[in-house]
Structure 1
Amino acid sequence: MSGSQKGALKVRLLQLKCHFTWKLLLRDTDPEELEGRLYDQLTFLVTKNKYMVYNLLAYVMHLKRDYTKAIENLQKAEELIKENNPDGTDQKYLVTYANYAWVFYYLNQYEDAQKYIEKVEKICKELKDKPDVSEIYGEKAWSLLKFCGQYYEDAKQCFEKALELEPEDPEWITGYATVVYRLEKFNGRYCPASKCKSLDLLKRAVEKNPNDAVVKALLALKLQDLDRTDEGRPYIEEAIKQAPNLPYLLRYVSMFYRRAGMIDEALRVLKTALDLIPNSGFLHHQVGICYRQKYLNQENQRHGNPYRGQTEARELNDLIQNAIFHFEKTLKFKKAFVYAYVDLANMYCEAKEYQKAEDTFRAVMAFTTLIEEEKQQIYYNYGKFKEYHMKSEAEAIDYYKKSLQFPILRRERECVEKSLKRISSKKIRNNLHDAEGFALLGFVHKTKGERNEAIDCYEKALKYDPYNEEYVSELCELKLMI
């Protein structure tokens, strides 16, 4: 094939709607971890759309440059479509055939690539009265949802498009409810009840999919989020009866139990799930969180009685080590799980393994793809590490301020504000002329949009340190904003 013919072929490929044109970027996922998750789904999930999982697996094999396995997965996708769609239209093949075309292109088998492009074009001509196909939007949405959290918003828009075309399709209803639920909680976001949209969507998904135990568990968790645990409990119990050995259900059941204070029940459920999927980073993370919670509960009970006997000390150390073990396991299987790094570093602090904590914080801060929510949490926790364990107040202030620069409203932001106010109050209490204390308080007011209070604080800071360029700059900027 000549260079011009190859260029023309590439143009036709780029017009196809499939995983290769949906901008599923390698930098946003760990192919090994994603491959493992997808194989687990093929093993445990009961769905008529397993062909979509094989299609995504084929793309993951492309990311790994394993085109033999890519072809094998596309063949399995094609077989499943034939089995489940004996009398239906050919539109379900569109994504699979388009993926075939791209794989053959990468294999330099250009005639085969062209053959599959022509198959796609033939189906599209037959669907000329239907320029949009719900299956394409739905499959894209599920793929985005499974690929990584940063794609959730795009997945939501695709499910909306699919539902515009087929408003009563149970798969798209469930997918839409799931992604809205995840977005409301994404990266620790807080969604007040007045803005919660997923509750009604999940209720509708349960009505449309009465045999879907996982969506019932999500509904139970959403009710729990809204302080309606008692309403959520029947959904959890019903879901367990339906699918007692489904690991995807059990992970949500364990979350429900843990948040209800039933830590041992949560651990029992997680052990069952780990027996089924021992390499699940998500499950190991949940186990680690449970052990951490047991440790914190015992520590809180001990505050009224500072004496610690050998038995209690050993029990606490066992809880710390169990949490560390499972957080380390998490990162073995989910190497880019940002929040697991933070959890592990904090537990290293409890074990007084400060160099390991430092190395873990440094490792996650070196990630080049961190989003604002992740940076906010990392900087806050690193600031705590510097203040309480390294006794470096200056470094703590620096990282608290870095955390506060992000406007996202979440628990970490409130904690940072309290920490900076506490430090500034201590400085002013110890020295009424402490310029840094007033400047620090001014910084907090500024980030909260309280300009007049911030100006007052920076003016006091300059009164006691009149030549400080940072304070002058901050004060000028604030006055210009009024």
Structure 2
Amino acid sequence: MGQQQGGDEALSTAPPSRSWSILGGSLANALHTCTSGRPRPFTVSNNSLRSALQQLECYFTWPLLKDDVDLNDLEEKIGYQIEFLIKARIRSYNLLSYVCHLKNSNEEALRTLQKAEEEVKKYHPDEIARRSLVTWGNYAWIYYHMERYEEAQTYVSKVENSCKKLSSTPHWKAQLPEIYAEEGWALIKFGEKHYERAKICFENALQNEPNNPEFNAGYAIAMYRLQYHFKSQRQSLELLKRAVELDPENTSVVALLAVKLQDLRQTDEGERYIEEAMKKTPDHPDVLRYAAKFYRRKGELDKAVKILKKALTVTPNSATLLHQLGLCYRSELIQLKKAEIHPPQEQVDRLIELCIFHFKSAIDKKTTFFHSYMDLANMYAEGKRYKEAEDTFQKAFQVNNLSNNDKQQFYYCYGNFKLFHVKKESEAIEHYIDVLKIKEDSFYSSKCKNVLEKLLEKRIQRGSRDAADFGRLGLVHNLSGEKHQAIKRYEEALALHPDNEDYLSALCELRLSISN
């Protein structure tokens, strides 16, 4: 994992214990407060100040790394959020200030935090301290990086003093639920690897306020993003329904519920929700994006394209919308090929070029857009532009911090490219095996098991004497729970390659598992 840039060394994550009383005491020690409780003149060392800073709850102490996101794309999304989600403006300005810092624009970061303070005064005049702790933490860190240490100390002291007041009763010994939730939202913005932690943040927030609409919305979204980890998607559906029930005016969550209903083949009910969301907020980018996805998957491609083009007039630099347009043209290409055995080549070429144009445009806007790279590579292959396909596959794999699911998708698609387009079966088999080496059940691992079994069986039936073919087939049977078939294939592999340690080890483990 890359280190955070913009003047930061690697930052520690938030401490496991988040008691405000502990925080206050630590800050007091670090800042050398005198017996009267008043801070001494600023003589504290940078190390002591940094120790105090690392105990603040703000974007600088949460695990949000520059390498996890495309900063320009994230900045663009925050801008739309500020415009369309008034209730989220405080946390949006806080996040934007952190992005500005990562882009080495600390003065702009300070101006953005001033806007966050204005929002607090406007919407929470009776809770300024409670609602400003994250903002003040960001201030302290930014001033620290600007080497304006007196200002940094001032904001650390503001946090400390506010925490002491807020923890005057036992209720305030636990972290404020708003801060748990704000961390959860930030983690979602920084990508898939953070979704599990985001879920935990929202669970913690909900312990104190189980009926809070914002916390329920965040929890539902986090669980929706994590849904591929669960055997059942019902939990995600129920959480989204709960969030909509608590806040029916949150149309982005209403639209997400519609997509989830469609996932579960409840399309008619989903369509009622999607139409309701578009009627209430016809220009909301998230609503339009989900609506386009809904109608693309329903097969109403003209309607989906129309919605996306409207959305692009609102947010013209959205990589996600450009990618979605490419998916619409890809769906049209698939429909054309299904409808006609020999579709007009001119129409095929036109749709391939439209897909390529929009996938490339999405990558231009978001250089870390892994899924757009994959779709672009596959479309180059479809157009028999194999050199460009190969180059794009390589760029896709260089995207930082790919999840296991992403890596499995890469190896599966790359294997298909080698097998079906450039006719290199042995290389394809290597890539399918790479999918299985990532020990995570998924759509891609299931597909690879089936493909590998067929390919390897055919090679053996054609008279293969390559021990690797038998060993790989043994691996596939083993992963499928077919232990006796796996033992047979490993024994055949050993007969061709005696003393191979991998085969011996696998065979030994299999025999032991059967005997036990």
Q: For residue 81 of structure 1, what is the aligned residue in structure 2?
A: 120
Query: Does 1:136 pair with 2:179?
Result: yes
Which of 144, 155, 176 does residue 116 from structure 1 map onto? 155
Offset, 1:462: 4.0
Q: Pick closer, same or farther for the CA change 1:481–1:112 going to 2, 3 Å.
A: same
Offset, 1:444: 0.8
Superposed CA offset, 1:40-94 (max 9, x none): 2112x23323011000010111111110100010000000100001233520011
Q: Which whole-Å CA distance do the structure 1 matches of 2:497 and 2:161 have between them?
A: 77
Alpha carbons 1:424, 1:436 under 8 Å: kept = no
Q: For residue 419 of structure 1, what is the aligned residue in structure 2?
A: 451
Which of 360, 366, 370 does residue 392 from structure 2 map onto? 360
Superposed CA offset, 1:310-350 (max 9, x none): xx211111111111111101111111121211111000001
Structure 1 unaligned residues grouped into runs of 5+:
none
Structure 2 unaligned residues grouped into runs of 5+:
1-40
Q: Which whole-Å CA distance do the structure 1 matches of 2:467 and 2:197 have between them?
A: 47
Q: Which whole-Å CA distance do the structure 1 matches of 2:508 and 2:427 have between them?
A: 26
Alpha carbons 1:427, 1:434 under 8 Å: kept = no
Offset, 1:300: 2.4
User: Counterpart of 1:352 in 2: which secondary structure?
Assistant: coil
Superposed CA offset, 1:201-228 (max 9, x none): 1111111111111111111111111111
Q: TM-score, normalised by structure 1?
A: 0.93
Q: Which whole-Å CA distance do the structure 2 matches of 1:147 and 1:399 have between them?
A: 29
Offset, 1:4: 5.5
Q: Which whole-Å CA distance do the structure 1 matches of 2:229 and 2:461 have between them?
A: 34
Q: Which whole-Å CA distance do the structure 2 matches of 1:168 and 1:368 have between them?
A: 37
Same amino acid, percent of matched pairs: 43
Which of 210, 213, 219 does residue 167 from structure 1 map onto? 210
Q: How does 1:275-354 map to 2 (within 5 A)?
A: 275-302=313-340, 305=341, 307-308=342-343, 312-354=344-386
* Aligned residue pair count: 469
Which amino acid letter does the alignment assign opposite residue 383 of structure 1? G
Which amino acid letter does the alignment assign opposite residue 419 of structure 1? V
Q: For residue 30 of structure 2, what is the aligned residue in structure 1?
A: none
Which amino acid letter does the alignment assign opposite residue 446 of structure 1? N
Q: Which whole-Å CA distance do the structure 1 matches of 2:464 and 2:408 have between them?
A: 31
Q: For residue 400 of structure 1, what is the aligned residue in structure 2?
A: 432
Alpha carbons 2:325, 2:358 under 8 Å: kept = yes
Q: For residue 35 of structure 2, what is the aligned residue in structure 1?
A: none
User: Counterpart of 1:431 in 2: which secondary structure?
Assistant: coil
Alpha carbons 1:405, 1:447 under 8 Å: kept = no
Q: Which whole-Å CA distance do the structure 2 matches of 1:441 and 1:115 have between them?
A: 66
Q: Which whole-Å CA distance do the structure 2 matches of 1:48 and 1:462 have between them?
A: 65
Alpha carbons 1:55, 1:96 under 8 Å: kept = yes
Which of 43, 49, 56 does residue 16 from structure 1 map onto? 56
Q: How does 1:80-479 map to 2 (within 5 A)?
A: 80-128=119-167, 129=169, 130-131=172-173, 132-184=175-227, 189=228, 191-193=230-232, 196-302=234-340, 305=341, 307-308=342-343, 312-431=344-463, 437-463=469-495, 465-467=496-498, 469=500, 471-472=503-504, 474-479=506-511
Which amino acid letter does the alignment assign opposite residue 444 of structure 1? V
Q: For residue 72 of structure 2, what is the aligned residue in structure 1?
A: 32
Superposed CA offset, 1:268-294 (max 9, x none): 111111111111111111111111111
Alpha carbons 1:177, 1:202 under 8 Å: kept = yes
Q: Which whole-Å CA distance do the structure 2 matches of 1:71 and 1:297 have between them?
A: 52
Offset, 1:435: 5.4
Offset, 1:476: 3.8
Q: TM-score, normalised by structure 2?
A: 0.87
Q: Which whole-Å CA distance do the structure 2 matches of 1:225 and 1:28 have between them?
A: 28
